[in-house]
Homo-oligomer: A and B are copies of this chain.
Amino acid sequence: MSLTIYRKAHFNAAHRLFRKEWSDEKNLEVFGKCSNPKYHGHNYDLEVGITGELDPETGFLINLDIVKQIIEQDIEEAFDHKNLNLEVPEFASLNPTVENIAIVIYNKLRLKIPEQYDITVKLFETARNFVVYTG
């Protein structure tokens, strides 16, 4: 038996894919145009799923307003209209691939969402590319 409630959010950010340890040539070879040193950007669409037991008194799995506030404060304010490489500490030395961004979001939410709930992070980098991470 499984009940999951989802909340959507979004943020717009600049990034580039690269490893500092590699030359520009090697970064270009591995990451292609995504390694452009002058950055490009995306509208990231986020779906956060919370899995757990229903509270029979309220009929809520969790108060979604609280989830919404955590997402706004910890994810949207931290990432929106930012350069992920330069301005978001988690990516100072971590390549901001859509996979890594999803893992960072999961880890940030895991600190705030009570333990009895499982978390699913679905993150769209474009309408065609997206990831799902469940911890």
Contact = CB atoms under 8 A, between A and B. Distances in A.
Interface string A7-30: 110101111010100000000001
Give the dominant DSSP class at A's interface.
mixed
Q: How many copies does the complex hold?
A: 6
Contacts of A7: 128-129
B127 A65 contact: no
A117 interface: no
Nearest to A37: B83
A3 B4 CA distance: 18
Contact of A133 (B3, B30, B126): B3
A103 interface: yes
Interface residues on A, range: 35 or more
A86 B82 CA distance: 17
B126 A12 contact: yes
Interface string A30-74: 111110101111110000010000100111110011000000000
A7 B125 CA distance: 11
Nearest to A21: B57
Given A5-B129, A58-B95, 13 more contacts: A2-B135, A3-B132, A6-B130, A10-B127, A19-B57, A36-B82, A38-B86, A39-B83, A43-B126, A54-B100, A58-B97, A59-B99, A60-B99
